[in-house]
Amino acid sequence: MLGIEDVSVEFDGKSALDDVTLDVAEGEVVTVLGPSGSGKSTLLRVIAGLQRPDAGRVLLDGEDITAVPPHRRGIGLVFQDHALFDHRDVQGNVAFGLRMRGDSRNDIEQRVGELLELVGLGGYEQRSVVTLSGGEQQRVALARALAPEPRVLLLDEPLGSLDRRLRDRLLEDLERLFERISVTALYVTHDQAEAFALGDRVAIMRAGRIVQVGTPDDLWARPADEDTARFLGLGNVRNGTIVRPEAVAVTRAANGANGDGVVEKVARRGPTVHVDVRLDTGETLEAAVSGLDHPSPGDRVHVAIDERGIVPLD
């Protein structure tokens, strides 16, 4: 469906995209996960036609669209911070793409209504976009991009500027929406939770390159290299192997028993608790344990590792 072939972009001699190749199948949602400055927004701009690649091609349905101007590509883009048209109301924003393709007035009105229902903003037609909350603006931006039925939808950190709770809620909404309308989408984010929740496949980007592409389970099971493993939060990397934190069991040493090490730090992350243990051998090991019962810093503990959680790196 969407193909990116060997695309490179340089800014002032510095490489922003370095020989990137990626395919998105029909109806598939691919998320691009990377730290800021990794080139993921540039990748979207190349696909959208807003940035000319210095090398490589962009294919849509097998057709080379590298030289096609953005307004003739039929690709939708949801901008970071929305980029809504402040001088138009909600209706005017969502209707824009429909007017560009010359829909009749009745059709436009009907479709705008449908889309606003879809994103949960039914009846908002006449509202001014500047009076909307961040989450509402985000929904308008999404409805606007979806309205002209783009062949591919691109989303550039669409939830980036929202606070955590709102982000979680919109994330669920987006998941449901993507299932319902079976859209082909490329979604860029620096947030792991978003990337793994939404992506059928996740592409991990670093320094202008895609270092790994795979389903969320694949990535967790076999990270491509140490950096990727660390980026995914798999802290226990040593001697070319990873010990997954959830494979490490930690139990308090019974009174008088010596145990394997001492707890240095305890940090709650949602339902699980991460425990850093300094082993008597001098190494540290991170364990993800149930939040129901966990040791405290200073406790002597026994450590057991489930073999299935030891992943060799290539």
Return the SS3 of 298: coil
Residues that bind another protein (rule: CB under 8 A) add up to a total of: 26
Q: Which stretch binds another protein (CB under 8 A): 11-19, 81-89, 158-166, 167-175?
A: 81-89
Q: Which stretch binds another protein (CB under 8 A): 53-61, 95-103, 158-166, 244-252?
A: 95-103
The kind and range of the H/E element at 91 are: helix 90-100
Task: Provide the minimum distance between the beta carbon of 74 and another protein in the complex, in angstroms, as a whole number.
Answer: 8
Q: Binder to another protein among 61, 85, 238, 241 (CB under 8 A)?
A: 85
Task: Provide the minimum distance between the beta carbon of 69 and another protein in the complex, in angstroms, as a whole number.
Answer: 7
CB 90 within 8 A of CB 127: yes
3-state SS, 149-190, equals CCCEEEEECCCCCCCHHHHHHHHHHHHHHHHHHCCCEEEEEC
Question: Which of 187, 146, 162, 175 is closest to 41 using CA atoms?
Answer: 187
- Can residue 53 be called a binding residue for another protein (CB under 8 A)? no
Q: Which stretch binds another protein (CB under 8 A): 70-78, 224-232, 285-293, 300-308?
A: 70-78
* Residue 266 in tokens: 């305890």
- Can residue 158 be called a binding residue for another protein (CB under 8 A)? no
Q: Binder to another protein among 144, 167, 244, 294 (CB under 8 A)?
A: 144
- Can residue 148 be called a binding residue for another protein (CB under 8 A)? yes
**CB closer to another protein out of 150 and 223:** 150
Sheet architecture: strand order including 310-312: 236-238, 241-243, 310-312
Return the SS3 of 206: strand
- Can residue 87 be called a binding residue for another protein (CB under 8 A)? yes
* Residue 30 in tokens: 């691919």
Number of other residues whose CB lies within 10 A of the CB of residue 41 = 19
- Can residue 111 be called a binding residue for another protein (CB under 8 A)? no
Q: Binder to another protein among 101, 176, 238, 268 (CB under 8 A)?
A: 101
Interface contacts to another protein, rule CB under 8 A: 48-50, 69-72, 74-77, 79, 81, 83-87, 96-97, 100-101, 144-145, 147-148
